Amino acid sequence: MVNEIDRARAALRHLDAGCPREDWVKAGMGAKAAGLGFDDFHHWSASAGNYASENECRAVWKSFNESGGVTPATLYGMAFAQGWQDPAKSRAKGTRPSIPTAKPTPSPARPVKTPQGMNPVEVWNRCISATPADGYIYRKQGKPDGMKVYPASAEPLVIRGQNVAGYLVAPCWSGADLQTLQFIPPDGGDKLNLPGASFNDGFFTVGDITDRVFICEGIGQAWAANKATGAAAVVCFGAGRMMAVGKVLRAKYPAARLVVVPDRGKEEQAATIAAAIAGQWMAMPDNKPSNYDANDYAAEKGSEALAALLERPQAPSMRFKLLSGADLCNSAPMRWMVRGVLPVEGLAALFGASGSGKSFLMLDIGCAVAGGDYEWFGRRVNQCPVTYVCLEGEAGMGKRVKAWSLHYKKPVPDALQFITQPFDLLSDDVPELAKAVIAGGGAGGLVILDTLNRAAPGADENSSVDMGNLIAAAKQLQRLTGGMVLLVHHTGKDTTKGLRGHSSLYAALDGAIEVINSDTRRAWSVAKSKDDVTGDAHPFKLEIVPVGNDDEGEEITSCVAVPDESDEGMKARRTTLGANQKIAFDVLGEPLRKSSHIGKEGAPVGRPCLDYSEAVEIVAERMPTDAKHRKSRAISAIGGLVAKGYMGMKGEWLWCH
Task: Give the whole-angstrom CA distance, residue 571 versus residue 531.
Answer: 27
Q: Please, which pLDDT band fits residue 198 given cuts at 50, 70 and 90?
A: confident
CA 111, CA 108: separation in Å to the nearest integer? 9
Which of 77 and 272 is assigned the larger pLDDT?
A: 272
Q: How many CB atoms lie within 10 A of CB 577?
A: 23
For residue 504, the one-letter residue type is S
pLDDT > 70 fraction of the chain, expressed in percent and rounded: 89
Residues 160 and 185: beta-carbon distance below 8 Å: no
Contacts 24+ apart (CB under 8 A), 465-468: 466/502, 467/501, 467/502, 467/504, 467/505, 468/504
> pLDDT, tens digit, for every residue of 326-340?
877 777 777 899 988
Of 57-66, 299-308, 430-439, 640-649, give the lowest mean pLDDT range.
640-649
Between CA 300 and CA 304, with CA 302 as vertex, the angle to 5 degrees is: 145
- Domain match, 242 and 162 both: yes
Tell me if residue 448 falls in helix, strand or coil: strand
User: Per-residue pLDDT for 549 more than 60?
Assistant: yes
Helix (H) or strand (E) holding 561: strand 555-563
Tell me whether strands 511-517 and 484-490 are parallel, antiparallel or unpaired. unpaired
Is 22 contained in some domain? yes
Are residues 398 and 454 part of one domain? Answer: yes
Query: Do 510 and 445 share a structural domain?
Result: yes
**DSSP-derived 3-state class of residue 472:** helix
pLDDT at 83: 62
pLDDT digits (tens, 9 = 90+) for 432-480: 999 999 999 999 999 999 989 999 998 999 999 999 999 999 999 999 9
> How far from 56 is each of 31, 44, 45, 50, 267, CA to CA, in Å?
17, 14, 10, 12, 19
Gap between the Cα atoms of 465 and 463, Å rounded: 5
**Percent of the chain topping pLDDT 90:** 47
Backbone φ and ψ of 343, nearest 5°: -70, 165
In this structure, are 525 and 564 located in the same domain?
Answer: yes
pLDDT in the model for residue 90: 52
- Beginning with the edge strand found earlier in the chain, give each strand of the sheet holding 608-611 in spatial order: 597-598, 608-611, 653-656, 647-650
d(CA 193, CA 179): 11
Q: pLDDT value at position 532? A: 59
Query: Is 98 inside any structural domain?
Result: no
Give the pLDDT of residue 113.
45
Contact in structure between 148 and 170 (CB atoms under 8 Å): no
Residues 369 and 271 in one domain: no
CA distance 362 to 474: 18
Answer yes or no: do 294 and 362 share one domain.
no
User: In this predicted structure, what is the pLDDT of residue 92?
Assistant: 44
What is the C-alpha separation between 582 and 568, in angstroms, rounded? 20
Where is average pLDDT lowest: 103-107, 503-507, 508-512? Answer: 103-107
229 found inside a domain: yes
* Gap between the Cα atoms of 286 and 306, Å rounded: 15
Reduced 3-state DSSP string for 302-356: CHHHHHHHHCCCECCCCCCCCCCHHHHHCCCCCCEEECCCEECCEEEEEEECCCC
Does a structural domain hold residue 346? yes
**Residue 414 sits in the same domain as residue 497:** yes
Query: What is the per-residue pLDDT for 323?
Result: 76
Average pLDDT over residues 39-50: 77
Q: How far apart are CA 168 and CA 605, in angstroms?
A: 101
Between CA 71 and CA 30 the distance in angstroms is: 5
Please compute the mean of the pLDDT values over residues 503-517 and round it to a whole number.
Answer: 89
pLDDT confidence band for 240 (50 / 70 / 90): confident
- Indicate the pLDDT class of residue 206, thresholds 50, 70 and 90: very high
Give pLDDT tens digits for 264-296.
999 999 999 999 998 999 999 999 998 899 999
Residues 132 and 248 in one domain: yes
pLDDT of residue 571: 52
Is the distance from CB of 448 to CB of 488 less than 8 angstroms?
A: yes
Residue burial 214-225, b: 16+ Cβ < 10 Å; e: rest: bbbbbbbbbbbb
Boundary of a domain, candidates 293, 310, 327: 310
pLDDT exceeds cutoff 50 at 103: no
DSSP tag of 19: S
Surface-to-core class of residue 176, CB atoms within 10 Å of its CB (0-12 exposed, 13-18 middle, 19+ buried):
exposed
β-strand pairing of 280-281 with 336-338: unpaired
In the predicted structure, residue 348 carries a pLDDT above the cut 90: yes
**Cis peptide bond N-terminal to 451, omega within 30:** yes
Q: How far is CA 554 from the centre of its chain?
A: 65
Query: Higher-confidence residue: 281 or 187?
Result: 281
Task: Answer for the pair 421, 397: CB distance below 8 angstroms, yes or no.
Answer: no
pLDDT band per the 50, 70, 90 thresholds, residue 302: very high
Segment 100-113 mean pLDDT: 40
What long-range pairs does 100-107 form, CB within 8 A, spacing at least 24?
Answer: none
**Could you tell me which residue, 602 or 549, shows the higher pLDDT?**
549
Is pLDDT above 50 for 112? no
Report yes or no on 101 lying in a domain. Answer: no
Helix axes 72-81 and 21-33, enclosed angle (nearest 10): 130
Q: Are residues 300 and 190 in the same domain?
A: yes
Concatenated DSSP letters of 172-221: EEETTEEEEEEEE-TT----EEPTT---TT-BEEES--SSEEEEESSHHH
Does 327 map to a domain?
no
List pLDDT tens digits, range 518-547.
766 788 888 888 765 566 678 899 999 998
Last residue of a domain, one of 574, 605, 625: 574
Residue 649 in this model has a pLDDT that exceeds 60: yes
Which pLDDT value is given to residue 331? Answer: 74
**Packing angle, helices 630-643 and 579-594, rounded to 10:** 80
Return the pLDDT at 354: 86
Residue where a domain terminates, one of 550, 574, 598: 574
Please give the radius of gyration of the chain, using alpha carbons only, rounded to the nearest integer. 41
For the entire predicted model, the pTM comes to 0.49
Based on the fold, state whether residues 539 and 393 are members of the same structural domain: yes
pLDDT, position 106: 40
CB-based burial label for 13 (10 Å; 0-12, 13-18, 19+): buried
Domain that holds residue 379: 336-574
User: What is the distance between the alpha carbons of residues 359 and 351, in angstroms, rounded to a whole number?
Assistant: 10
pLDDT band at 305 (very low <50, low <70, confident <90, very high): very high
Query: What per-residue confidence (pLDDT) applies to 405?
Result: 94
What confidence score (pLDDT) does residue 87 get? Answer: 73
**Domains of the chain: total:** 4
Residue 275, in any domain of the structure: yes
> What is the rounded average pLDDT for all residues in the chain?
85
In a domain? residue 111:
no
The residues, ordered by sequence, that sit 6+ positions from 493 with a Cβ below 8 Å of its Cβ are none
Q: In the prediction, which pLDDT does 528 show?
A: 85
Q: Which residue has the higher pLDDT, 556 or 100?
A: 556
- Alpha carbon distance 546, 89 (integer Å): 117
418-448 burial: b if 16+ Cβ within 10 Å, else e = bbeeebbbbeebbeebbebbeeeebbebbbb
**Which CATH number is 492's domain given?**
3.40.50.300
Asked if 195 and 115 touch (Cβ cutoff 8 Å), the reply is yes
Query: Is 349 found in the same domain as 292?
Result: no
Looking at residues 634-650, what average pLDDT do you find? 81
How many Å from the N-terminal Cα to the C-terminal Cα in the chain?
A: 108
- Say if residues 73 and 67 touch (Cβ distance below 8 Å): no
Lowest mean pLDDT among 100-114, 203-217, 303-317: 100-114
Say what the pLDDT of residue 383 is. 93
pLDDT (0 to 100) of residue 242: 92
Are 177 and 204 in the same domain?
Answer: yes
The Cα 653–Cα 480 span in angstroms is 54
